[in-house]
Chain A
């Protein structure tokens, strides 16, 4: 179906079902129960899941396939956001031009940075991309203030021209009148589910981007990218020029990042320079690695995992901890809270750092590999091991 192998089609369908039913899946606990804090079905959180999913899928096309580790991808995200907000300011709140422009500008920006950075490989490439991103960040804060509004961040003011804006149209981002913020809440007994326009738009775009990524992975182009990662010497002596291949991959992944940035601005019409900082670049690296670099589903899993735990962990404060451990004797309760405290709430980054290390040390293949290991141990994949992959061109996922 859709020009995909059976295995990939089923993967796409599973992802589609999961994203479409996300409002249900992410809100498994009744709204009033103590466990409601584990719910993640809020519109803005769900939007972040899929937007970062797009970002990570794109990053994986570069890092997962070619092995070129870019530490500056957040720059493209930022450029995308700025472009989109400028379209809102100039044309109006319809998000289509904004998203379109964010992909174009980030693509051009990626072309420029990629053309220069890809003249080097390995750690030099990482440092070059890092230098470019930090440079963009510094410029966005200082000289480019007319374009970026510096520290305040770029936002839409009533004094902005908005040439195509009419009074009949909503005064917040919308798609032909459909407001991104509009949410329909379904109350079913004790449960409550939010269906948000913006989320569904982003989810559909993510599915499209996921499909595109599958096609790229399975194409001759994708195969060449994998070859670059494996052995560049052989590639050269096989009559292939790695430079245009890596550049194409870099631009594609930059455009994915720009799209994510544009969508981010479409959900919340604001763009700040901190989106370009290298910690943001590190975050997408982490998502990809955590999920499993070079696998199809890995980056999506990684993005969801990190954004979910970021949200949940940062919400847990001492009051919540006291509730959890209330059944224990006082001394033990306080002791446990003292242990858990540094890792939750504001300490979420500590957990994140530890997680990062643990993944690189113990599970370089990420969650996907972990899942496979568990499955193998449980004997689920025995049959598959005996008869290696049924298709010719798909390496084990």
Chain B
């Protein structure tokens, strides 16, 4: 069963064909990694999924519904959450508020004029928020202002903000970029734990092959805006086409 279906997607920026004829299908409850050299079109593809960019051609369907032409918040409401390369969090608010907001959004939809009841009175929301903070080991930091967190904690907070919405599909854009090895390993463990505990599909864009091979069940290699190979991790390693695309890029 595939949850996300990308068909013949193409995207052009002026004279640059960023994506051409991308076909990709992500199976439900798997971790699917998309790798490729710089400029291969990974981020463009991701932006086409979340509504930031609209592809010129092709179709993107999520659980049988087209995502094309929908705004980012509508796509999120359908069950797609996104983790950014540099964590996007509500920096001026407390950690707790940071998770309360997505939790409210998941319950109340994209807009609800809920101006007279207190946040304090939303028992269910508070319980969910606390549970998720417990899951990412941040319950003790709930009162901290998010901007004062360490980089690793910000990443974990962003992850929690996505997970609290119980997304069906979690998109991760280089979740370990710029991290120290220890932090990277922690993130891998966290993602593994999430995968074991929940029914969730993940699509990861990643440079770090260590992360990719520790997590992914399927790997798609993107080069020059088009998929080269889609394989299991075992078969990817020795694949001649991949070596060719990556020559000098990273140790596969």
Residues of chain A touching chain B, judged by Cβ–Cβ distance below 8 Å, are: 3-5, 215-216, 218-224, 226-227, 229-231, 233-241, 244-245, 248, 252, 388-389, 391-393, 395
Contact = CB atoms under 8 A, between A and B. Distances in A.
Interface string B84-113: 100011111110110011101110111111
B142 A237 contact: no
Given A237-B72, A239-B106, A218 B91 contact: no
A219 B117 contact: yes
A229 B91 CA distance: 10
B197 interface: no
Nearest to A225: B115
A241 B126 contact: no
Interface string B222-236: 000000000000000
A218 B119 contact: yes
A3 B116 CA distance: 9
27 contacts: A218-B118, A219-B114, A220-B112, A220-B114, A221-B113, A226-B90, A227-B93, A230-B92, A231-B90, A231-B91, A236-B71, A237-B76, A239-B165, A240-B73, A240-B105, A240-B110, A240-B111, A241-B73, A241-B110, A244-B111, A245-B111, A252-B115, A391-B120, A392-B126, A392-B142, A393-B100, A393-B118
Nearest to B161: A238
Contacts of A3: 118, 121
A239 B77 contact: yes
Nearest to A61: B115
Interface string B20-38: 0000000000000000000
B50 interface: yes
Contact of B97 (A223, A241, A244, A252): A223
Contacts of A238: 73, 76, 101-102, 105, 161, 165
Contacts of B165: 238-239
Nearest to A236: B72
B122 A227 contact: no
B102 A231 contact: no
Contacts of B71: 236, 241
Which of A240, A244, A395 has most chain B Cβ within 10 Å? A240
A222 B73 CA distance: 19
Contacts of B100: 223, 393
A248 B96 contact: no
A393 B117 contact: no
A220 B122 contact: yes
Contacts of B91: 230-231
Q: Which 9 interchain pairs have the tightest Cβ spacing?
A: A239-B76, A221-B115, A234-B88, A241-B110, A230-B90, A244-B111, A388-B143, A236-B72, A239-B105
Given A219-B119, A389-B143, A227 B81 contact: no
B194 interface: no
Contacts of B104: 220, 223-224
B156 interface: no
Contacts of A4: 118
B18 to A, nearest CB: 21
B11 interface: no
B42 interface: no
A241 B90 contact: no
Contacts of A226: 90, 92-93, 97
B177 interface: no
A226 B146 CA distance: 13
Contacts of B106: 239
A393 B73 contact: no
Given A239-B76, A393-B120, 16 more contacts: A4-B118, A5-B118, A215-B118, A221-B114, A230-B91, A234-B161, A237-B76, A238-B105, A239-B73, A239-B110, A241-B71, A241-B110, A389-B94, A391-B120, A392-B119, A395-B94
Contacts of B101: 223-224, 227, 235, 238, 240
Nearest to A223: B119
Nearest to B107: A220
Contacts of B108: 220
A239 B74 CA distance: 6
Interface string B54-67: 00000000000000
A311 B115 CA distance: 36
Interface string B116-150: 11111110001000000000000000111100000
B82 interface: yes
Nearest to A390: B143
Contacts of B93: 223, 226-227, 230, 395
B169 to A, nearest CB: 13
A236 B119 CA distance: 21
A231 B114 CA distance: 20
Contact of A392 (B76, B96, B144): B96
Contacts of A389: 94, 143
Nearest to B130: A392
Interface string B152-176: 0000000001000100000000000
B74 to A, nearest CB: 8
A239 B118 CA distance: 21
B76 A220 contact: no
A221 B118 CA distance: 9
Nearest to B91: A230
A39 to B, nearest CB: 39
A40 B113 CA distance: 40
B77 to A, nearest CB: 4
Nearest to B102: A238
